[in-house]
Chains A and B, each alone.
Chain A
């Protein structure tokens, strides 16, 4: 039982790399002449980034000699809310029921979302850095399994492994990304991994493909209090303000303002914004009859279409007059991804370690070593929680520094949780 639990803990650590200090990142934010981070990347930038990532995938695949057994799928996202120093992140693999699964064991690809706002050069380096860390972690985990070593200090070991790998990648990048890519494939093959990399611009081109992720994303929001407060701050900053009606005659302005208050339209915007940040997509639809009102569409039952219309997946009809909000945008599709995806892996960690602790505590009365393991796992859980808090602060901490705490009545009554 212990081994099975350890194995799950190892797996969850496979694809959670730390931030890389890459050469292309030097001067990106200090040199005003450098194109640097783009707040709103245009189509030409997305096209350039797509073709560069595709080229990198091509080089990696061509360099492989054996058959593939470690698949990686690269996707692009456009970042509007997280820190500009976010280069890429791992999209947790979930089965059709929405439960975590091990992509490497099942032959599914490890999905990586690359932040398209970054300079193209930096994106390539970040991918290579990630692949280097992924392989190094695989190597380390294999060694731990072979030796039946304790996983109580897995987090520190992974950090050390990441640092070694990072140094190696940065060294190799002096010879260019092609040489680094070829060396990465060679290293993977040396360790028994046949690296197969594919590029698909959007992780989920249709809303249907992320519907199974929504319950877990809701859990992330409901169970991680610090994240919830940050999300609420973002919502408050964007949709929690007072409605602003400009122009027109005074009487008309007063009347419109009154209607937005009476019908709670601003709360509909806040609800939709929260849905977008947590689940990826949020919708506000305006009624067509008097008096004008608004309501939200459930992200589980809506497929966004172009030009302010949405398909109601339950009724099967098309609805017009819909405002659609997204968390991370995906190129080539109106479907968005939730900002809470950044914390999904931590929820899995928390679940797995929590379950391990509970199991150990159950057996601690009869097995003396179980009590010791429970204590070790508890310490690991504490460290993971601190790591999660640090990462959250790094990725979304800006909002807590610059945006006030939202009003208590940001959402409708009874809607403080998702």
Chain B
């Protein structure tokens, strides 16, 4: 509450302290009106809770009078604890409602915890004498400092608070003492587990709704031993299932995956482009500059003769050698590396430098011939140019040889073409925004329709693009078109038969014009309709898709050849490529309404389909590496990219083995849960159901992992996840009981007690001996070890200590199960 706020740029606490000190200094002056006024101003500034109706609202004379008083009143006025003013002094001056808040704040801040505890205790014990203001102060302080109360005091305060809290509430009256009493009681329940026996006594007496809510609220924020405390409370209370569930729902911690914030492009495209151009310029200019400056230094300062006299023939020969090296390296890379990588692997910057050095040499020889007077400098320049050519050629050969290794080539590609990859993402970002505008535009036009497939009528006039690209609409042209009489009257209709914002092929029918029986569209009308359709080049995005496909293939080939390390390095280049591209795609956030969806990201589809189809035929370590790559790619995508759905679709088409299929589903579901992508989760659950019905135990285990993780990531659907899993489990089977124990332990760890209770009830109704089975599993090292591994792979749903989590659930099963079923 006393957190630092900023008041006119200064930390509020500093302003408050300064005002308090200044007011203290002014108190030594006589009580003249001006001085009192200044004191009142400073006192108001010293109050840390400007939004509360505290003493700052009092008249100036009263504020100054409070400040001039000694003891508790002065401390409250100055919002500052003074020497010798104890909690009881502060409490004793609370006679009016406006003093409750500031007094409670100061008492709570008082360093003497024992005196504070005693003061609160005495105030609450003598509630009839002290009046409602002091009682309210005592409850407020209890709420703020419950953890420092002495146990005996806490016990008495809890008893009194529960009596007060149990009074009926009039919702149309401002909250009074009873709300403060409820808060205080809940704080004591949270901070004093040693008082649990007292709570159990209360619970055994069938308490009212208010008391149950207070106990639940206290347990809700308790930090340790919560599982056992909840089970013991149920055991003492012994409610029916519905009441127990309602009680546990109040204790549940409601975790849900937070919204994923869109990334801005990680690298500024302009900066990236400028730095790339600067490096290229330096590679061109450095040989000439170094040669000229070196020649000047050698002839004019050091006065040294050039050791060689390169001729024009030698210069042309050097150029010829360079051509040969260039062709040779290109052939070598083309022979060893796939498409786009080969193209850029042989284009090292040292090649540019070598060409620049060769041309510097030839230029210097030409200058020497034309202006013999400049012979010393020109000869030196040519010689230095030749030397730099030799050096650059050596670097070139070294770079090309290094890049013949696929992993190096991939890394070099990302280094050199990163800006183009980001640019492709930015292009797609703009296309996504434009596509949404296009869809909104069409929704408001009666004469334009979005249709799933070309209108099947013979009288339609087709509209096909001349080139491949993204299908978009021209807003102005569309408005001009629909403003024409034939369109306004509904005689002509434009049917857009392809999704806006997706790639269309050249000469493919993307739209058509249809007319009513009496109307024949003129060529002018058709031209207007054609102009409203726009196709934007897909080249920047296609280039990224091509690179992604090449990197996937390369990684897969390396896996097949057994070079796992190189495959992993290539895979990381692929992840970096997609990261750069998606940072561009997510550059400008696109808010979506309702069912709106954005066009897919083609390179993401390419990468995921390639990786999934490659994974389909793998096993062992290569499969692990491939799944790791897929997981990395999934984590780059945001909700709008629908990566889990894409993975689901491509995984099904690649017909993987059961094991691979279940692993892919696990990855997709984990990411979908993190992204709160319920549409993807519906697909995943259906798929898992089908596979489980077909007898796949792998898919059943994946379903259990998904449900266990949902306890953490999606509280508001956690019950439904258990109900879904329960529908495919047979809890009379030992292996299925293990699954239920796993999900129950995850629910307890995630503090979703209501679902843990559902699991307990289901386990007991299936077979009462499941209590012993759960206890046996908790002591089984093999079971714990396998659960630890599964939980780690599945997102750590059993917390830091899976063994303890299972043990806690076994105890909960026994205690809560007996309480509810008994």
Residue numbers of A with Cβ under 8 A of B are 33, 242-247, 250, 253-255, 257-259, 261-264, 267-268, 271, 285, 287-291, 293-298, 407, 409, 411-415
Which listed segment binds A: B4-12, B210-218, B612-620? B210-218
**Residues A290 and B101 in contact, CB atoms below 8 Å apart:** yes
**Residues B173 and A295 in contact, CB atoms below 8 Å apart:** yes
- Is B822 positioned at the interface, with any CB of A under 8 Å from its CB? no
**Residues A289 and B53 in contact, CB atoms below 8 Å apart:** yes
Additional pairs, 11, CB under 8 Å, beyond known A244-B256, A262-B217 = A244-B716, A246-B259, A250-B255, A254-B253, A263-B183, A264-B171, A264-B213, A293-B174, A294-B175, A409-B246, A412-B169
List chain B residues, Cβ under 8 A from A295: 171-175
Cβ of A291 to closest chain B Cβ, rounded Å:
5
List chain B residues, Cβ under 8 A from A297: 172
- Is B258 positioned at the interface, with any CB of A under 8 Å from its CB? yes
- Is B32 positioned at the interface, with any CB of A under 8 Å from its CB? no
**Residues B169 and A413 in contact, CB atoms below 8 Å apart:** yes
- Is B1 positioned at the interface, with any CB of A under 8 Å from its CB? yes
CA distance A261 to B210 in the complex (A): 10
Cβ of A175 to closest chain B Cβ, rounded Å:
21
CA distance A33 to B496 in the complex (A): 14
Number of interface residues of B (CB under 8 A): 46
- Is B446 positioned at the interface, with any CB of A under 8 Å from its CB? yes
Count A-B contacts at CB 8 Å: 104
Q: Which of A242, A262, A414: most chain B Cβ within 10 A?
A: A262
List chain B residues, Cβ under 8 A from A294: 175
- Is B297 positioned at the interface, with any CB of A under 8 Å from its CB? no
**Interface majority SS (helix, strand, loop, mixed), chain A:** loop
List chain A residues, Cβ under 8 A from B175: 263, 287, 293-295
- Is B81 positioned at the interface, with any CB of A under 8 Å from its CB? no
**Residues B246 and A262 in contact, CB atoms below 8 Å apart:** no
- Is B788 positioned at the interface, with any CB of A under 8 Å from its CB? no
User: Known: A291-B179, A293-B175. Is A258-B254 also a contact (CB below 8 A)?
Assistant: no
**Residues A267 and B171 in contact, CB atoms below 8 Å apart:** yes
Chain A: which residue is nearest B52 at the CB level?
Answer: A289
CA distance A172 to B512 in the complex (A): 39
Listed A/B pairs (12) with beta-carbon separation below 8 Å: A246-B256, A253-B253, A258-B217, A259-B183, A261-B220, A262-B179, A262-B182, A287-B175, A289-B52, A291-B140, A293-B174, A295-B171
**Residues B221 and A258 in contact, CB atoms below 8 Å apart:** yes
**Residues B179 and A296 in contact, CB atoms below 8 Å apart:** no
CA distance A33 to B446 in the complex (A): 6
- Is B168 positioned at the interface, with any CB of A under 8 Å from its CB? yes
Q: Which of A285, A290, A413: most chain B Cβ within 10 A?
A: A290
CA distance A244 to B169 in the complex (A): 23
List chain B residues, Cβ under 8 A from A254: 220-221, 253
**Residues A287 and B220 in contact, CB atoms below 8 Å apart:** no
Cβ of B720 to closest chain A Cβ, rounded Å:
13
- Is B686 positioned at the interface, with any CB of A under 8 Å from its CB? no
User: Known: A258-B217, A264-B169, A409-B209. Is A291-B174 also a contact (CB below 8 A)?
Assistant: no
Cβ of A235 to closest chain B Cβ, rounded Å:
13
Q: What 1/0 flags go to B237-249 for Cβ under 8 Å of A?
A: 0000000001001
List chain A residues, Cβ under 8 A from B168: 412-414
Interface residues of B in 1-40 (CB under 8 A from A): 1
Interface residues of B in 78-120 (CB under 8 A from A): 100-101, 104
List chain A residues, Cβ under 8 A from B797: none
List chain A residues, Cβ under 8 A from B254: 242-245, 253, 257
**Residues A290 and B171 in contact, CB atoms below 8 Å apart:** no
CA distance A78 to B153 in the complex (A): 56
Q: What 1/0 flags go to B196-234 for Cβ under 8 Å of A?
A: 000000000000111001101110110000000000000
Across the A-B interface, give the 5 residue pairs with the lowest CB-CB distance, nearest first: A293-B175, A262-B217, A261-B217, A296-B171, A258-B217
List chain B residues, Cβ under 8 A from A246: 256, 258-259
Cβ of B29 to closest chain A Cβ, rounded Å:
33
List chain A residues, Cβ under 8 A from B208: 413
**Residues B101 and A293 in contact, CB atoms below 8 Å apart:** no
Q: Which of B175, B182, B449: most chain A Cβ within 10 A?
A: B175
Cβ of A394 to closest chain B Cβ, rounded Å:
27
User: Known: A253-B254, A290-B52. Is A258-B220 also a contact (CB below 8 A)?
Assistant: yes
Chain A: which residue is nearest B166 at the CB level?
Answer: A413
List chain B residues, Cβ under 8 A from A296: 171-172
List chain B residues, Cβ under 8 A from A409: 209, 246
**Residues B220 and A293 in contact, CB atoms below 8 Å apart:** no
- Is B371 positioned at the interface, with any CB of A under 8 Å from its CB? no
**Residues B221 and A291 in contact, CB atoms below 8 Å apart:** no
List chain B residues, Cβ under 8 A from A291: 140, 143, 179-180, 183
CA distance A245 to B168 in the complex (A): 27
Cβ of A413 to closest chain B Cβ, rounded Å:
5
List chain B residues, Cβ under 8 A from A267: 171
**Residues A271 and B221 in contact, CB atoms below 8 Å apart:** no
Interface residues of B in 235-276 (CB under 8 A from A): 246, 249-250, 253-256, 258-259
**Residues A262 and B183 in contact, CB atoms below 8 Å apart:** yes
Cβ of B101 to closest chain A Cβ, rounded Å:
6
Cβ of B215 to closest chain A Cβ, rounded Å:
11
List chain B residues, Cβ under 8 A from A293: 174-175, 179
**Residues A415 and B171 in contact, CB atoms below 8 Å apart:** yes
List chain A residues, Cβ under 8 A from B246: 407, 409
Chain A: which residue is nearest B98 at the CB level?
Answer: A289
List chain A residues, Cβ under 8 A from B180: 291
- Is B186 positioned at the interface, with any CB of A under 8 Å from its CB? yes
CA distance A246 to B254 in the complex (A): 9
Q: Which of B49, B51, B246, B254: most chain A Cβ within 10 A?
A: B254
Interface residues of B in 43-68 (CB under 8 A from A): 49, 51-53
List chain B residues, Cβ under 8 A from A415: 171
CA distance A294 to B215 in the complex (A): 20
**Residues A268 and B216 in contact, CB atoms below 8 Å apart:** no
List chain B residues, Cβ under 8 A from A259: 183
**Residues B52 and A271 in contact, CB atoms below 8 Å apart:** no
**Residues A242 and B183 in contact, CB atoms below 8 Å apart:** no
**Residues B249 and A242 in contact, CB atoms below 8 Å apart:** yes
List chain B residues, Cβ under 8 A from A287: 174-175
CA distance A289 to B176 in the complex (A): 11
Cβ of A296 to closest chain B Cβ, rounded Å:
5
**Residues A242 and B217 in contact, CB atoms below 8 Å apart:** no
List chain B residues, Cβ under 8 A from A255: 221
Chain B: which residue is nearest A247 at the CB level?
Answer: B258
User: Known: A254-B253, A293-B179. Is A262-B171 also a contact (CB below 8 A)?
Assistant: no
CA distance A246 to B260 in the complex (A): 12
Chain B: which residue is nearest A241 at the CB level?
Answer: B716
**Residues B171 and A263 in contact, CB atoms below 8 Å apart:** no
User: Known: A288-B52, A291-B140, A296-B172. Is A263-B250 also a contact (CB below 8 A)?
Assistant: no
Interface residues of B in 393-449 (CB under 8 A from A): 446, 449
**Residues B51 and A288 in contact, CB atoms below 8 Å apart:** yes
Cβ of A26 to closest chain B Cβ, rounded Å:
16
CA distance A411 to B209 in the complex (A): 12
List chain B residues, Cβ under 8 A from A413: 168-169, 208-210
Cβ of B806 to closest chain A Cβ, rounded Å:
23
CA distance A14 to B118 in the complex (A): 73
**Residues B716 and A242 in contact, CB atoms below 8 Å apart:** yes
List chain A residues, Cβ under 8 A from B186: 258, 262
**Residues A262 and B214 in contact, CB atoms below 8 Å apart:** yes
Q: Which of B172, B179, B182, B218: most chain A Cβ within 10 A?
A: B172
Q: What 1/0 flags go to B167-196 for Cβ under 8 Å of A?
A: 011111111000110110010001000000
Chain A: which residue is nearest B165 at the CB level?
Answer: A262
List chain A residues, Cβ under 8 A from B259: 246-247
Of A33, A285, A289, A411, which one neighbours B449 at CB under 8 angstroms?
A33
Cβ of A177 to closest chain B Cβ, rounded Å:
20
Chain B: which residue is nearest A293 at the CB level?
Answer: B175
List chain A residues, Cβ under 8 A from B255: 250
Of B101, B253, B256, which one neighbours A289 at CB under 8 angstroms?
B101
Chain B: which residue is nearest A300 at the CB level?
Answer: B172
Interface residues of B in 98-153 (CB under 8 A from A): 100-101, 104, 140, 143
